[in-house]
Amino acid sequence: MREPVPLIAGNWKMNGLASSAAEAKAIAEGIGGTRARVAVCPPAILTHRISEALADSPVIVGGQDAHWDDAGAFTGDISAEMLADAGAKLVILGHSERRQGYRETDEVVRRKVLAALRAGLEPLVCVGETLEEHDAGQAHAVVTRQVRGSLPPELKGTPFAIGYEPVWAIGTGRTPTCGQIEQIHRAIRDTLVDIFGEDGASVPILYGGSVKPSNAAEILHTAEVGGALVGGASLKADEFLEIVRAL
Ligand code: PEP
């Protein structure tokens, strides 16, 4: 059975300008000999520029979303193929800000995963419960339902990752205890193995939600945590690098 290779991904969200290429370069220069794969996910319009800035580095560039169709009359949207053409290697799909702000269902996320596969992008599929669901003791049920609903069987044998991001922990400074993180990650692992057999054991399961330099080591060393999806703390190279080094 293959151990998951950890992945630490920075989600810049709607932040960054052309000048952010310097920040990306600083990340590439600082990652040293980490055993993690490191990714930065800038806004789509910066994909090409950041890919060029990282051309000779091991840092991967990712998108933050992609349409489920390959091309067509979808004003304002970006296809997975366009991201790949601009240099992206992976794409975040089903982030809670898409699920909540754009009413993306598991079915929509599943179709987007298929589009990513057609374009040769590695999907990083996000799941996570809201505060209401957390307080009602439904985290386990919600997250495993999202995993089953968002992952098509076509993923078997192809690289992909899961991001467990409790919605109430994103950008709030609040995090679950490491025990709670471990419990949900184990439930996700069991679900992955149930769906994909032994292949499910080597899928990295990232934790996301208020990861910062001060809590990164504890979270990254929690059982079943295979890396981190980092929002706010990924915008400054030095903070992001502290998180990478905490592994
Ligand atoms: C995110 O939105 O993916 C995220 C984890 O944000 P933050 O680290 O800012 O909580």
Q: What is the arithmetic mean of pLDDT over 217-241?
A: 98
Do 91 and 101 form a contact (C-beta atoms < 8 A)? no
Query: What is this model's ipTM?
Result: 0.97
Instruction: Specify the pairing of strand 37-41 against strand 7-11.
Output: parallel
| Pocket flag, ligand 1, residue 232 (CB < 6 Å) | yes
Residue 178 amino acid letter = C
Question: Which segments are annotated as binding site for substrate?
Answer: 11-13, 171, 210, 231-232
Nearest CA to ligand 1 atom 6: 231
165 lines ligand 1 (CB under 6 A): yes
Report whether 44 contacts 83 (CB < 8 A): yes
Q: What torsion do the CA atoms of 194, 147, 175, 88 make, to the nearest 10 degrees? A: 110
* Closest C-alpha to 205, from 180, 227, 183: 227
For the full predicted model, state whether its pTM sits above 0.90.
yes
Whether the per-residue pLDDT at 59 is higher than 90: the answer is: yes
pLDDT in tens, 81-114: 999 999 999 999 999 999 999 999 999 999 999 9
Mean pLDDT (the chain) is 97
Query: 1 pLDDT band (50/70/90 cuts)?
Result: low
Decide if pLDDT at 152 tops 80.
yes
pLDDT band, very low/low/confident/very high, at 50 (cuts 50, 70, 90): very high
* 166 token code pair: 């409790």
pLDDT band at 2 (very low <50, low <70, confident <90, very high): confident
CA–CA dist 185, 166 (Å, integer) = 12
Backbone angles phi, psi at 125, to 5 degrees: -95, 125
Q: Which of 154, 165, 220 is nearest to 188 (CA)?
A: 165
- Which whole number is the average pLDDT over 20-38? 96
Whether 221 is catalytic: no
Please, which residues bridge with residue 206 across strands? 163
At residue 65, the 3 state secondary structure works out as coil
Give strand ranges (E) for the chain: 7-11, 37-41, 60-63, 90-93, 122-127, 161-164, 205-208, 227-230
Contacts of 102 (CB under 8 A, 6+ apart): none
Q: How large is the average pLDDT for residues 130-142? A: 96
Question: Tokens for 36?
Answer: 């993690």
**134: annotated active-site residue:** no
Q: Which domains does the chain have, with CATH numbers?
A: 7-245 (3.20.20.70)
Is 229's C-beta closer than 6 angstroms to any atom of ligand 1?
A: yes
